[in-house]
Each structure stands twice: as C-alpha cells, then as structure tokens.
C-alpha cells in the first residue's frame, strides 16, 4: 500500500521550517527594509494552523492548507508525491499603507523560510504569492482594524522509501 504523505509534509513544513525560523526571517526582512517602526509582529508557536477553517482570536496567524497530491507511478519501493500546499499569513493593522507593507514583509519572510528549502524527504518550491484583499475587521469605531492575508502556493516534492 502506498502511503499518503501529505500529513507528514505539512508537519515538516510547520515544525522544521516555519516555527524554528520564520520569526528570525521577519526580523531580518524588517531590518533590511529599514522600517523597524512598522511593527511586524512575530508569530507565536501556537498560532500555526493546518486548516483554513479556524478564526484565530489573536493575530498574526499562519495557515498551512493542503490542496492536492499527485502520485508518481514509475518508482518501485519508493513513494514519490508532489503536493500543492498553501501557506498563508493573516494579520491586522489600523492604517492601510502599513497593512500593505506588513503584507510584503510577511510574504518575504515566508518565501525565505520555504523556497528551495528541504528536509530529508521533502523539497519546497514557492510557485506564487497572492496578496489577498483588504477587509475591515470588527465594528466600525474610531480605532477600526483592517485585515489582510498573503498566501504562498508551494510545490512540495516528497519521496519516501516504502517499508
């Protein structure tokens, strides 16, 4: 029986690529762009979700969402699969220009943490970056917040020896 490797790929991306290094890339991107006052928040370890069906109470949050797996059928004793996985950052800000700049910073940090990176069994390539629409978050008050997301579509090459 050929195993479905998508769950392992998602956990490797979350636990071995994003959680250990995303915040360092966020800080580096902020320093390189000279906007240390922009306030791009780091992402605590408990705000990484492997589904899009969560409305987090606190932002920023990272979502790792599987799209599809394609099986390579020409290998003996090896499971070869290519996964399409979306990785998104969801964040808020009270000013629209700052919100857009935060989007650029999160996208750059996610790209740096993922593109052409790998572990023993997977290799991640970022296919595209989508800068989502701006939405109003919460009731219309003097201190209204705006919400935005950036989403990276990743192609994950995955090989696993069959036991």
Task: Quote the tokens at residue 12.
Answer: 């490797």
- Give 13-32 pLDDT, tens digit per residue: 999 999 999 999 999 999 89
Do the bridges between strand 122-131 and strand 117-118 make them parallel or antiparallel, or are there none, so unpaired? antiparallel
Residues lower than pLDDT 70 in the chain: 1-3, 36-37, 138-142
User: pTM value?
Assistant: 0.91
The pLDDT of residue 141 is 60
The pLDDT of residue 142 is 62
H or E segment and range at residue 105: helix 96-114
The pLDDT of residue 140 is 60
Residues in the chain: 163
Domains of the chain, first to last: 6-161 (3.30.70)
Residues 114 and 87 sit within 8 Å (Cβ to Cβ): yes
The pLDDT of residue 157 is 95
The pLDDT of residue 39 is 78
The pLDDT of residue 84 is 97
Q: Whose structure tokens read 């320093």?
A: 31
């Amino acid at each position: 029986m050929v195993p479905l490797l998508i769950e392992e790929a998602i956990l490797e991306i979350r636990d071995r690529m994003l959680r250990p290094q995303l915040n360092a890339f966020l800080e580096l991107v902020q320093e390189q762009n000279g906007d240390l006052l922009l306030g791009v928040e780091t992402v605590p370890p408990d705000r990484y979700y492997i589904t899009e069906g969560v409305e987090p109470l606190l932002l920023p949050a990272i979502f790792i969402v599987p799209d599809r797996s394609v099986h390579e059928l020409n290998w003996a004793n090896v499971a070869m699969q290519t996964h399409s996985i979306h990785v998104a950052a969801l964040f808020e800000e009270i000013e629209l220009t700052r919100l857009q700049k935060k989007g650029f910073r999160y996208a750059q940090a996610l790209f740096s943490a993922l593109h052409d990176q790998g572990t023993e069994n997977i290799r991640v390539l970022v296919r595209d970056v989508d800068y989502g629409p701006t939405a109003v978050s919460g009731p219309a008050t003097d201190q209204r917040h705006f919400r935005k997301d950036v989403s990276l579509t990743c192609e994950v090459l995955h090989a696993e020896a069959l036991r």
